Amino acid sequence: MASWGGIALQVTVGQLLKQRGFTLALAESCTGGLVSHRITNVPGSSVYYRGSVVAYSNESKESILRVQSETLYRYGAVSERVALEMAQGVRRVFRTDVGLAVTGIAGPEGGAPDKPVGLTYISLVAPDVERVEHHVWSGNRLENKERSSEAVLDLLRRYLESDVAATNK
């Protein structure tokens, strides 16, 4: 796992969440709880981390996170829109300052010409902020999951270090 300034990224975001006084919840699909695992490996994470939902199926995305069935039907589970609705939903479920979500195709199967293996969408929702990024990884299943978890944490780090985060609490 990568680091930021020599410190593991999950430690860095934990320190930033504490400094900002923010709480966090995660909605994970393709990473299967890997991001939550990394967050909870940091001693003291209970100060800012409220919980997660591993919403692997479309049914769980709909019933728990309230992703709209029309969104899933129209755009597919691996899409910008679904990632955004997942982040909105997990933030609402856990009543947190920040909601993060990740959905993608870890592989080795499941890809299509318009949605290749490795395609991943990550989203961050906070007061007055909604961001979605996409990545296409070229590794094996485990590498794609690890890269996705790193991208989620890095998106959170960049948000927490921004001027936007400074004015949102």
pLDDT at position 157 is 97
Q: How does residue 165 score in pLDDT terms, banded at 50, 70 and 90? A: confident
Q: What phi, psi does 85 have (nearest 5°)? A: -65, -30
Going along the chain from its start, the domains and CATH numbers come out as 3-161 (3.90.950.20)
- Whole-model pTM: value is 0.93
Q: Using one digit for the tens of pLDDT, what is the confidence trace for 108-135?
A: 888 888 999 999 999 999 998 999 999 9
Q: Using one digit for the tens of pLDDT, what is the confidence trace for 65-98?
A: 999 999 999 999 999 999 999 999 999 999 999 9
Rounded mean pLDDT of 147-155? 97
